[in-house]
Amino acid sequence: MNYKFLNKVINEAAEVVGKTWPLYGFVTSNPLAGYEALPFFTALKKASPVFGGQTLPSGSVFRKAWQEKKIDEVILTNELNTVGIHSSIENTLQKMESVVFTDFPNDKHELDRLTVKWLSLFLDEGLAAWPMPFKDMGFYTSWRKLVVHDNDLMALARKNGHRLTTIPKTPEEALQEVLFDFEPEAFQEIFERHFAALPGWVGFIKYRVQNNSIWQQEYPISLLDYLAVRLWIASLIGAAIMSEEPTVVDFSDREIIKIQRCWLEAWEKSWQQRFFSEILKSSKRFDEFQTGPKNIIIGNNPNTKLKTGLAAQLVFCLDTRSERLRRILEQAGANTNVEDEPRYETFGSAGAFGIMMDYQHPETGMTYKSSPAVGASSYLVREKPVRDRQDAQKAYLKQGRKLSSYRYFLKRMKNILPSAFGYVEGSGLYYGAFLLLRLWSPNRAEHWLLKHKSGYEALYEPYITSAVPVISDRISSEVIANTKTGFSKTSAKIVLNPDLDEVSTLALYAHDFVGDKRAGSGGINQDKIEKEPSIIHSDNPLLQHHHHDVTSTIDDIGDDQKALIVKGTFDSCGWRSFAPLVVFTGHASKSANNPFASSLDCGACAGQPGKYNARTLAMLANNNNVRNILKKEYDIEIPKETFFIAAEHITSTDEVELFDQDIPASHLLLAAQLKKDLIWAQAQLTKERLNEPVNSSSIAKLKSNSWSESRPEWGLSGHKGYVIGPRSLTLKGEFSDCFMSSYDWAMDPDGNILKGIMQGPLVVVQWISNHYYFSTVDNQKFGGGSKIIHNITGKYGVVEGNGSDLKIGLPLQSVMKSDDEVYHDPIRISVLVQAPRRYIDQILKGDPKLKSLIEGGWILLFVMDPEQKNQIDAYKQMVQPL
């Protein structure tokens, strides 16, 4: 069999399932990402039988929305009539509710069970004290060496009249033998079915291969291995390689789907109607409120100076949870300032502030992706010790080693014979006491957990280098099945291949529009890779020993490029005048005993805190060389008085921590005032968010520390819209269900800034929104299922109960109020852009992929055209047959 052909078929077949990210770096991706080339409803139709799940909201969800008056009667009737349904609304509801889901015996039960048994043993990332033997030889080989001892499998084979013969040495040969009777044309369908049988596990293999995780480098697995093992077992136990019937029969009734679609679209349109009227009201109020243009300085004015009256500007990462904080902070100034002028101005930036970077943690030495997973990283940010705080830094690292020693001690005592028995008797009372402490006083218990009590931000400063990105999603299908060659090199080669220019479009959205010469090569300097092989192996934990002498080996990118990064942020925020204090506010969440904790962090950005990016940006913007270049080359003058700092918004408690250790004395008062205002804002914010009239701040804190809290916060649940436009559109209204990107079309004469936003943040928002949509419409299939029966597997994922498919999405407790009632409204994202229509036409002309997402209805795009009196128009979608 042709190896190349086989790989091609495997890669194409693998598109039927999504990618499963590990829970320590949760990514809210579209589970139907493989279907994005199709229009939305066509994709649903195709994916529904593959997954055997619901892809449209159920009758009871619509009924609830109807009762809560979320769906407008006129719009709904109109929708129904248009497609020729004239029965009553109640009647359509009843029809939808007549669809009942029930359990059917899984005809692949034994095959699934045996596959999962071996997969979970191999994929383990350190939960088992003793790893599977032969693991370093790769999945297929280690399985082959062990399975000869598997009496369970032998018994099933005997039942089927088979005996275990020699298993071929390579997975290709194994597949060849099993598929001997099949035509090559049938392969793709066979593979698709066997991938779709366990989408979660297969998705995780895809993750390991495409991202070439550190575990993958040590213990390689490929989709080819998976197929070889699964099909070999299947042929041995007599499970169908290709059953007569498709895996899941599509019982769904076209008539009911038609009704569901009408209801969905009516719901979306009803919300849009309200949304637009809110926007218009808000911007009208804003116009009335404005006495003069003194606070908005529009245009590329080289004379921009310090903005008068403002104490600070706060820039937030792309996230719905910042809206309340922004609104309340803006009021903070307005309410207390004698001149009744706002003290604070806020901006919404791109996700992760638009820096496509990886981050190397100074303590663990491990490298994390710290930017949206839709694109490859261009930079690697590391930390160097601040010169005069080396003692504190050493103490911090020592403390970390101590903590890890304690953890190791506990693990060791639990595991080893016969100490495990003595240990339980000696420590039982301590466990009992700590149990009560966690139950009754979570905040105090938190203090005793084996974690660092404070961050290291004051002890280190970030520095930025260019990096070979972890291979991007869009190109990685090339190497899905390939684990045999030296992987790091392979991926680097592919990234560098000038033919694959699509790599760059997403990777460099923060700055490619200013003409990065190396855009075609993904921003990678080939010489550097050859000279500095360690960059490629940035995951190498050995690097942690380097940070002592790191100053001598700093391999910075040029100041020009740094200036471009900073300019990118200013541009995309539509922002040119500066307050004395500018705060880049990243966000993260804190919750206890929560396997999905990272899904509440900077969600689309690989489940990492946003502070890494915020600190990097503040560091760059304070750099004098960068400021000089910005002034000389781009007419952006940052006043001497302006100082940049980073901060972190903890979204579960709404605390904001300022990383202000290096702040100059002149700014101390400002920072002190800001801190005071932030504490005040926290009280207001939690009161509104939690609906708690008193003590809301401490209730929020308790929730974040409580180990029995299954809903520490709602994350991005409830989001429905995305506003790309100036803050003036939204300032005088409440838009806590919207993402907001500060964008001013007047500052963007050629539409390049908008292009950056639409190709970056908008694509990310599409992923987030569809992740939430599918997790809500079928939490079992596309979400994580209920937390209460989760069983953590291998340190990276969860299964249900005794074992199941690996869960792929957000848990029930993140999107639903109860088992039966949704919290997140499952509708598609509506995006409002304030920009001339011609900008958008031009951008989409150059990006057919984005265009098909919009025309296909994965994103509902609306344009508020300032050249047409700000009239709001829907961007046309293609007609999708029912």
Partner 1 sequence: MNDQNLRPSLLYRMVAFFLWALFALNIGSIVWYYPEAPNWTYGDLFRISSLSLIIWATVCFFSAVVINFAGKYLIGFKYYKRFVLLALGFTGSVSLLVFANHVLIILVAWLGMGFFMSRLIGIDRRWGEAREASRYCQKHFLAGTLFLAIGLLMLSFELNQFTVTGIISSVGDIPYWLLLISALCIIIAAAIQSAMFPFHRWLLSAMTSPTPASALMHAGFVNGAGILLTLLAPLFFKSDTMTLLFFIGGITAIVAQFAKLIQVNIKQKLGCSTTAQMAFMIMQCGLGFFNAAVVHLILHGCYKAYLFLSSGEEIEHLSPKKPQRPSRTKWQTAFVFALGILGALFFAWITGKGLHLDGGIFLTLIVAITVGQAMENIIKRDEFSILKKLIIAPIFFLLSIGLYALMYNGTTIFMHDLPMIDYPESLSVLQIVFGVIFLIGFFIMKLGIYESFPWLYVKLINDSQPYKKTLLRYKKNIK
Centre a 10 Å sphere on the Cβ of residue 718 and count the other Cβ atoms it contains: 14
Question: For residues 120 and 775, which CB has a smaller minimum distance to partner 1 in the complex?
Answer: 120
Each residue 277-316 as x (binds partner 1 by CB under 8 A) or -, in order, gives ----------------------------------------
Residue 142 beta carbon to partner 1: minimum distance, rounded to whole angstroms? 9
| Chosen residue from 254, 294, 414, 493 binding partner 1 by CB under 8 A | 414
- CA distances for 465 relative to 358, 469, 624, angstroms: 10, 12, 18
343 in Cβ contact with 337 (< 8 Å) = yes
Q: Please give the residues from 85 up to 124 whose contact with partner 1 meets the rule CB under 8 A.
A: 99-106, 109-110, 112-113, 116-117, 120-121, 123-124
Tokens 């370093």, residue?
Answer: 136
- CA distances for 404 relative to 412, 546, 583, 590, angstroms: 12, 20, 33, 20
d(CA 734, CA 737): 8
Residue 247 beta carbon to partner 1: minimum distance, rounded to whole angstroms? 9
Question: For residues 120 and 616, which CB has a smaller minimum distance to partner 1 in the complex?
Answer: 120
Residue 47 beta carbon to partner 1: minimum distance, rounded to whole angstroms? 15
Tell me: cis bond preceding 541? Omega within 30 of 0 counts.
no
Tokens representing residue 173 in the block: 């040969």
Tokens 């919404």, residue?
Answer: 348
d(CA 355, CA 620): 11
Tokens representing residue 272 in the block: 């849009």
395 is a contact residue toward partner 1 (CB under 8 A)? no
The DSSP result for 435-463, as a single string, is HHHHHH-HHHHHHHSSS-SS-STTTEEEE
Each residue 575-614 as x (binds partner 1 by CB under 8 A) or -, in order, gives -----------------xxxx-xx----------------
Q: Please give the residues from 839 up to 868 whose contact with partner 1 meets the rule CB under 8 A.
A: none
Tokens 């044309």, residue?
Answer: 185
Residue 711 beta carbon to partner 1: minimum distance, rounded to whole angstroms? 7
Q: Please give the residues from 671 up to 690 whose contact with partner 1 meets the rule CB under 8 A.
A: 688-690
Q: Please give the residues from 692 up to 711 whose contact with partner 1 meets the rule CB under 8 A.
A: 692, 699, 703, 706-711
Flag whether 545 is marked binding. no
Residue 540 beta carbon to partner 1: minimum distance, rounded to whole angstroms? 9
Residue 598 beta carbon to partner 1: minimum distance, rounded to whole angstroms? 8
Residue 447 beta carbon to partner 1: minimum distance, rounded to whole angstroms? 16
Question: For residues 148 and 878, which CB has a smaller minimum distance to partner 1 in the complex?
Answer: 148
Beta strands 460-466 and 312-316: pairing type? unpaired
473 in Cβ contact with 491 (< 8 Å) = no
Q: Please give the residues from 147 up to 166 whose contact with partner 1 meets the rule CB under 8 A.
A: 147, 149-152
Q: Please give the residues from 36 up to 55 whose contact with partner 1 meets the rule CB under 8 A.
A: 52-53
Each residue 634-673 as x (binds partner 1 by CB under 8 A) or -, in order, gives ----------------------------------------
| Chosen residue from 1, 83, 395, 435 binding partner 1 by CB under 8 A | 435
| Chosen residue from 168, 246, 639, 803 binding partner 1 by CB under 8 A | 803
d(CA 26, CA 808): 10
691 in Cβ contact with 714 (< 8 Å) = no
Write the CB contacts of 432 (distance below 8 Å, at least 6 apart in sequence): none
Count residues contacting partner 1 (CB under 8 A)? 138
Flag whether 388 is marked binding. no
**By C-alpha distance, which of 476, 31, 537, 9 is closest to 209?**
476
Q: Please give the residues from 734 up to 763 whose contact with partner 1 meets the rule CB under 8 A.
A: 736-737
CA 54 to chain centre: 23
Stretch that binds partner 1, among 410-418, 567-575, 619-627, 740-748 (CB under 8 A): 410-418
Residue 243 beta carbon to partner 1: minimum distance, rounded to whole angstroms? 13
Question: For residues 169 and 493, which CB has a smaller minimum distance to partner 1 in the complex?
Answer: 169
69 is a contact residue toward partner 1 (CB under 8 A)? no
Flag whether 573 is marked binding. no
| Chosen residue from 273, 409, 558, 635 binding partner 1 by CB under 8 A | 409
467 sits in which H/E element? none
d(CA 383, CA 393): 11
| Chosen residue from 3, 5, 74, 145 binding partner 1 by CB under 8 A | 145
262 in Cβ contact with 85 (< 8 Å) = yes
| Chosen residue from 67, 288, 303, 421 binding partner 1 by CB under 8 A | 421
| Chosen residue from 36, 79, 125, 319 binding partner 1 by CB under 8 A | 125
67 is a contact residue toward partner 1 (CB under 8 A)? no
Each residue 344-373 as x (binds partner 1 by CB under 8 A) or -, in order, gives --------------------xxx-x-----
Write the CB contacts of 24 (distance below 8 Å, at least 6 apart in sequence): 598, 607, 795, 796
Q: Please give the residues from 226 up to 255 whose contact with partner 1 meets the rule CB under 8 A.
A: 248-249, 251-252
Phi first, then psi, for residue 578 (nearest 5°) are: -120, 140
- CA distances for 718 relative to 273, 707, 816, 828, angstroms: 17, 24, 10, 11
Flag whether 824 is marked binding. no
Beta strands 581-588 and 312-316: pairing type? parallel
d(CA 763, CA 831): 11
321 is a contact residue toward partner 1 (CB under 8 A)? no
Tokens representing residue 810 in the block: 């957000």
- Tell me the binding residues: 317, 319, 587, 602
- Tell me the binding residues for Zn(2+): 317, 319, 587, 602
